Chain A
Amino acid sequence: MMNDSVERKLALSHMSVAFAAFIVACILGEYQVLERSGIFPALESPAVYFASVSTHGVLMAYVLTTFFIMGFGYYTASSTLKIPVWNPLLAWAGFWIALTGVVLAAIPLLSGLASVLYTFYPPVQADPMFYIGATLLVVGSWVWCGIMLVMFYQWKKDNPGQNVPLAMFATTANALLWLWTSAGVALEVVFLLIPWSLGWIDTIDPGLARTLFAWTLHPIVYFWLIPAYIAFYVFVPKQAGSFLFSEEAARAAFLVLVVFSLPIGFHHLYMDPEQASGWKLLHGIGTFIVTLPTFVTGFTVIASLEIGGRLRGGQGLFGWIGSLPWTNSMVLAVILSLLMLIFGGFGGIVNASYAMNAMVHNTAWVPGHFHLIFAGTTIIMYFAIAYYLWPVLTKKPLYSNNWALVQLWTWFIGICILTTPWHVLGLLGQPRRISSVAYNNLLTLSWQPYELAMIFGGLIMLGSAVLFIYILAKTWMSDVSETENDYVLEYAEPLHPVKNLPEYLNDFSLWNKTIAVLMAISFGIPILQFFFMDTFDSSAWGY
């Protein structure tokens, strides 16, 4: 076996940053539900609340995800291709650039100088250090993208005619997706926000800024989700004692995700006046197309699980479910993850439908929905991946499988208790992003019980998050000697060996061109219009 100490260290370092950000943000999350409820008058302070939500959002959405994805990607690349990470020095440079960015952004965030939330919509302005820090985080992640692409193409050159292993194919797809995705926000930050916050330019067009941000805002959620899908396809079947039902379908699903998640960001602008309805309709259609790979993923994963359940003796229409290895943390996580995905999927259809969207747009429904899909469906798979990888990375046995199972169940229960009332609050008209209920209106009386339920949901999640960190820390610090253990990752075998794979399921150049065309169509005129119209810029505002 190859000596992979460099790769293990890279993965552990990235993931440690990710999970440190995660636990800090969970504490802030629980403070937020307490503050919002209004039952602790001493806690109430909009200044602290919005500094906290800004920090919580940035840590969860940008730091946890990006660092986790980079760490997981480095290890996936070297373990599937069986080659060392290309240019480890560069990889470390990426790590430190990104971490410096996080620290630079954290300073104004925590001192209340960047309470602009994780979406930082102008013309409310943050301290320049916040924008610069965020940029460095993205630049660090680009280094990772570059390394993934180089390793992918080098391996292909050295192994002509062979199929790139599925896990690496999907990881590289995600790197490509992220390069395209982050370009929108990078244009916004580099050409608009940074010069404006440094005083080099006086004014900014909020319509253009929102359009560029919308370019990023949709595909970024697939960037976060893809590691979960990778685990669905490459880890889950084997852990369930089964085979991957169809590797070809898996590859196609990843490609459709990458291609169609990009040109559809205007569903975040459905309610905006600066884009015309024709463009919104076009992006709306794309939004439904991008549900296809999720349908396919659901089918393939459930079919793989069913084969596993039947191989283990399960019978009847649903009997195979009971005979799945529920005590395997990867299998338990995927079951809970799919359950949350089904509920969340219904919510997603409401959001995507023009007419219904008007009822829930920017209400409490929205954070309710994305905590279910993001903190639920996605993050529970990050946990399972961490449990699976940790013994491999630290060369020590997992501290306790039983506690890991308890942790996954409590996270699921906590999510249900947190997000169900949150959705209801949205239907009852509560706006998102408020620190207190100050409206003098009867409507608000019905909100109180739901706020209380959210506190309990959050508390269970916080407890679960602490347990997660405890299990990883205990594993890492145990005094079992490292040299005796040689854990390896086991990747799922396809049910039917993959023969004669067409090149378009083993390469990205065709898809890269397709994306370029689709992006030019769906964003070209909507962005250029701002340079042809008579627009009126805004100057900077505090908050």
Chain B
Amino acid sequence: MHIDPLEKQWVQIALGICAFFIGIIMLDALFHNINAPSNVETIDSARLHLSEEFAEQNLGVQVDGEGQVVVRMIAGRYSFLPKEISVPAETKMTFRWVSSDVLHGVHIPMTNMSTMVVPGYVAQVETSFPKPGEYPALCNEYCGLGHDHMWSKINVLEKDEWQQLQLSMNGADNDE
């Protein structure tokens, strides 16, 4: 068998390039904890309204006991519910997405808030939005003939602006 020395060198370079990229993804995954949504958590998509967590009054943005912002959203043909939410900028938050019907995907352009929403599973994504602004959340997996129309609005507000909004909304709730 004959392998040219140049070819051997090239294979070593290619191995090096490979090892470099593998190193990066290992570093990200094991030390920076950059992982794709992978929580393997099941849920009955046909009975979301009966589930505690995804009952209508619990959807949208909530702050849990530890001060962590949690956003619960339902993907169903053809929108994400609630249709519009406001979240604080520069704040770590957890999105929890479920489908009430078929396969969907959701992506907020220019951000890494991206996940598939598979019926029967909860997709959890941790992220934060550095820049305030009005962002669309777009469905990015074909889900039926109305797929083009499936999107919602995410308002990313400055931290204090968002806090004020939270306070005034809670106030409004109490008045009722």
Contact = CB atoms under 8 A, between A and B. Distances in A.
A541 B112 contact: no
Nearest to A248: B1
B138 to A, nearest CB: 5
A453 interface: no
B114 A359 contact: yes
A42 interface: no
B102 A46 contact: no
Given A276-B40, A291-B18, A121 B103 contact: yes
A441 interface: yes
A98 B162 CA distance: 60
A145 B48 CA distance: 47
A47 B148 CA distance: 12
A27 interface: no
B146 interface: yes
Contacts of A452: none
A123 B21 contact: no
A47 B145 contact: yes
Nearest to B96: A273
Given A124-B102, A536-B120, A538-B45, A277 B38 contact: yes
Interface centre among A47, A269, A361, A430 (most CB of B within 10 A): A361
Interface stretch (A66-74, A225-233, A294-302): A294-302
A296 B4 CA distance: 12
B105 A206 contact: no
A358 B136 contact: no
B123 A353 contact: no
A502 interface: yes
Contacts of B149: 438
A206 B103 contact: yes
Contact of B21 (A50, A295, A349, A538): A349
Interface stretch (A281-289, A325-333, A369-377, A473-481): A281-289
Contacts of B37: 271-273
A433 B34 CA distance: 27
Interface string A419-432: 00000000011111
A436 interface: yes
B55 interface: no
Interface string B146-159: 11110100000000
A200 interface: no
A167 to B, nearest CB: 19
B144 A271 contact: no
Interface in A241-284: 245-246, 248-249, 269-277, 280-281, 284
Nearest to B143: A124
Contacts of A183: none
Interface string B3-32: 110110011011101100110111011000
A396 interface: no
Nearest to B123: A273
A273 B142 CA distance: 17
B15 to A, nearest CB: 7
Contact of A353 (B25, B118, B119, B147): B25
A292 B14 contact: yes
Contacts of A117: 142
Interface string A91-122: 00000000000000000000000010100011
A537 interface: yes
A543 interface: yes
Interface in A498-537: 498-502, 505, 529, 533-537
Nearest to B15: A292
Nearest to A352: B21
A526 to B, nearest CB: 10
Interface string A185-209: 0000000000000000000011100
Contacts of B26: 281, 285
Contacts of A124: 102-103, 142-144
A357 B46 CA distance: 30
A435 interface: yes
B46 A536 contact: yes
B38 A539 contact: no
B169 interface: no
B167 interface: no
A182 interface: no
Contact of B147 (A121, A271, A433): A433
Interface centre among B3, B117, B118, B144 (most CB of A within 10 A): B118
Interface string A348-388: 01001111011101110000000000000000000000000
Nearest to A36: B148
Given A124-B143, A285-B22, A433-B147, A273 B109 contact: no
27 contacts: A46-B146, A50-B142, A117-B142, A123-B119, A124-B143, A245-B7, A246-B7, A271-B114, A272-B36, A273-B39, A273-B40, A274-B121, A276-B40, A277-B29, A295-B11, A296-B11, A303-B6, A354-B25, A354-B28, A355-B34, A361-B114, A431-B107, A431-B140, A438-B148, A501-B1, A538-B102, A538-B119
Top 9 nearest A-B pairs by Cβ distance?
A: A429-B109, A431-B140, A295-B14, A362-B140, A277-B38, A273-B123, A358-B112, A543-B144, A536-B44
